[in-house]
Structure 1
């Protein structure tokens, strides 16, 4: 970029989108416009459904200037009453995990411009090690520099509770994980797994001129005043409703827009993700999901992959020969680890109930044909 053209400094939280680059000088506008064209989904993906799903996915990311640093913020994972087992109160989040990205980013803009967040950033960068203590019920945070508490955290003697997570911080630079912790614990907003899948499905269907919201609204016999997205959870994807169909999970049967379901110990589906693309030549499935059981920098909405042998398209997703690259970790270091090391183990789990499965909205068959015909 041209010398002398610098980003505005000293602003605690300044939203930066390619559609809102008035904060940059003309040379930077030109550079970012070129980057935007180069990074367009249509340049990277060939099929129309892949492009539409990627567009919906990218709506879950936004770049901010925070204390002079460019930080790419991903949409947090958030679910009503998650971590409430010891809180003695409900832990309700904005929109119940079903709000669309535009609504959530508007709230996040306000949160990151608040005095409390500015104070949080100041404390993090005071040059001293500390333990941050978040309280989800009161939406407050505090910190301690007590050497004993710091030593306990380093020794993995974790003292946090589900609704009061502890985080060890080195007192130096602020990163995306610090912003995520604040948004998740104090902002109390984000998208749960089915809320994200629903967002992707409705956006993709709309690109083909199909109103999936209306279809589900009628199927559930909801009033027109009610948003069907508030009623669509993973339980719905796992139901035997006529607007859905189960897809045999051999790789050759899968397509973009299919929903991957993971079961819990009681046999019910407890997590959902959506397939973005399947590369039969390279042997790779890319799927997208919102969860916080992931590496720290991936918590929230993120991409995941399944690697397979292109010569074996009949392989089931339950085949242990597949390589699921998504590792599973506790949301906060020190908490109890997931029972499964990766998504593959999780998908194959609970075979007495059939393990995981793949489902598809029947309407997505026409969406698939319509969108892909545009990009032949």
Structure 2
């Protein structure tokens, strides 16, 4: 049985969202229309019982447009989420999608979101809670919102969520990242859409929704963008069902076959140590289980302390396939245990190092 079959057979998905979150379900429906093997069964405020389909409880009990206050931000909203999970014990995946709240939310607001989901995780250990970033539409020329300051704030808040998920090994559906990339079939390259924003002290490169998606065909965006997100859902569900995406990705045997993060050397170390990592040649597309070309992925290498606080960013850029080495300077840091994590697309690996 394929991993898509396994996801359909074994996963029951509670998905609460606002209008932007409809991009995922629109994409899933369009994928299903093109290939019935990707069958979904979507129930509005109810969980379908359709065999051989990914069954989706859409919304909460009695409502399908779910604001933060109706899922995580208030005690009443968290109780609504608890009701869905308690009344439907076969649900084993739960997820809530943003609208545009990160445009104006503070760091404390996002931390409240992270804290609330953590509470639910502790109460329902058999359920995988999917964290999300907010949409990246706000930017120059966008039909939905052109406020560059809000786009910058959204970028910071999404980074806050990403950093938390990386540091705490959470499952993240990176809605914003999918918004920003478009595959140019002419050049056969992925394009990242950005603008420059002056934050008062520095010029910051802010990713935002690619202009190719800047049309309101469904849920405030293009059908293509919706389908990208639908493919990402299937990729995620297959992994949750047990698929090893790395095994699925690397089929050739020529050079740099797999991602790797080596143990730093020397370790333990005094002030300076070197970290090596490998980016493989065969990097399949980001968004789904079917191969349809290569994708450019950012490479991120960060260092954390034992409390999960970010200490340093060693790499945060696009990288070509190859072997790399970067030096970490620990001078000025207290002796102790630190962790370094490599993240490239769906790959993530963490190792421990000791500073004396």
- TM-score normalised over the length of structure 2: 0.26
Name the structure where strand makes up a greater proportion of residues: 2
- Pair member with larger Rg: 1
